[in-house]
A and B are shown apart, each in its own frame.
Chain A
Amino acid sequence: MLSTDEFAAWSKNVVLYLHNTSRVDDEPYPDLLRQKGGRAYPTVSFLDADGELVTQVGHVTPLEQLETALDRLRQWRRLTAAVAAGGGDQAKDLFVVELELGMLQFDEASERHRAFTFDADELATVTQRLTNLEVRSLLQPGTDAAVAGARFVALYRDARIPDSRDERAFWSATFASAVANKDTALFAELLEDLEGRKRDDPTMARTLERWTQQLEQLRADADASPAPASAATRGSTKTP
């Protein structure tokens, strides 16, 4: 994409900076990627003119995605100025743009969205973005596994499925929660649902096959052992 004439023409809208980590001793900013929130090579990010991160667009990015991100960033800059100048009626638009640009952490976004009233379309968009953010936050290292697992199941029950790059991790964690709780019925429900959603996705075929086999194993285990403890006694440390 970077070598196309289309990119060269579009790039006049921004200032291009190539940061190459070389490990040569004279490198002036050897840790810039990490400082700007990057975790992998390559990473594409927008910074403001002071060099502060405004949004990260991904690893390998189609031009259309860059165009959309730049349009949003210009909108964000206009709205930020307007709200700072007292344009409180534009605070909701600013919130939505910041949400779309990935500028907000889940806790802040969840808190701020309560201040606004959304129409149906806006609410659907905001809810989806909040779901993506919440799943991202739950997947961070250090999150209590049991708490995260329960929350993944609750999100699934509310039909709040992420549409971000975390979608597959969401399904994996929700299946794992069902296994951890020996909840064969939930596992079967998840599998049936996912098969319906991903039937035409060849990248999911092996995963679905693996989970189908795991369901068979869960059912066999359940048949071979006494009924699991009820919810009231689950987690008890008493031995029989």
Chain B
Amino acid sequence: MNRNCFPQLALGIALCAATVCAQEAPPKRRAALLTPAPKANLSQAELVALRAEKLAKPVFSNAAWHFDFDKARATARAEDKFLLVYFTRSYAP
């Protein structure tokens, strides 16, 4: 390797690390990055059960959450409001 490549290579690696760092959530509560995907091999029945468990959480009955995107959009149009979307997942913790 040409020795003159080293500074750029080192900087590239550092920038990659900085980019990953930049994509992380604040340290108090890290968000789960989309990739890599969890490798759990859950059956459809298990996934259905996890979904039901998630949607039944008390936090989602505290306010008028929609679980259907089409209906939520229709309501937003009818009421001339913005949608506030909370993206979560039930297939993994």
Contacts of A136 in B (CB 8 A): 22
A180 touches B7 (CB 8 A): yes
Contacts of B60 in A (CB 8 A): 2, 18
A168 touches B21 (CB 8 A): yes
Assembly CA distance A165 to B19 (angstroms): 11
B62 touches A139 (CB 8 A): no
Given contacts A3-B58, A16-B66, A46-B85, contact A22 B4 (CB under 8 A): no
Contacts of A128 in B (CB 8 A): none
Assembly CA distance A146 to B22 (angstroms): 18
Contacts of A166 in B (CB 8 A): 22
The SS class assigned to the A binding surface is mixed
Assembly CA distance A66 to B85 (angstroms): 11
Chain A residues numbered 98-125 whose CB sits less than 8 Å from any CB in chain B = none
Assess whether A96 is interfacial by the CB under 8 Å rule.
no
Contacts of B55 in A (CB 8 A): 18, 20
Assess whether A145 is interfacial by the CB under 8 Å rule.
yes
Contacts of B14 in A (CB 8 A): 145, 172-173, 175-177, 179-180
Assembly CA distance A146 to B7 (angstroms): 9
Interface size of A by CB at 8 A reads 74
B4 touches A20 (CB 8 A): no
Assembly CA distance A11 to B12 (angstroms): 44
B73 touches A172 (CB 8 A): no
Residues of A within 8 A of B (CB): 2-4, 7-8, 11-25, 28-29, 32-34, 36, 38-51, 54, 58-60, 66, 70, 73, 136, 139-141, 143, 145-146, 148-149, 165-166, 168-170, 172-173, 175-177, 179-182, 203, 235-237
Q: Can you list 21 residue pairs at the A/B interface with Cβ under 8 Å?
A: A14-B84, A15-B66, A17-B86, A18-B67, A19-B69, A22-B90, A33-B34, A36-B87, A41-B87, A44-B84, A45-B85, A46-B83, A60-B25, A60-B29, A139-B15, A139-B18, A145-B14, A169-B19, A169-B22, A176-B10, A176-B11
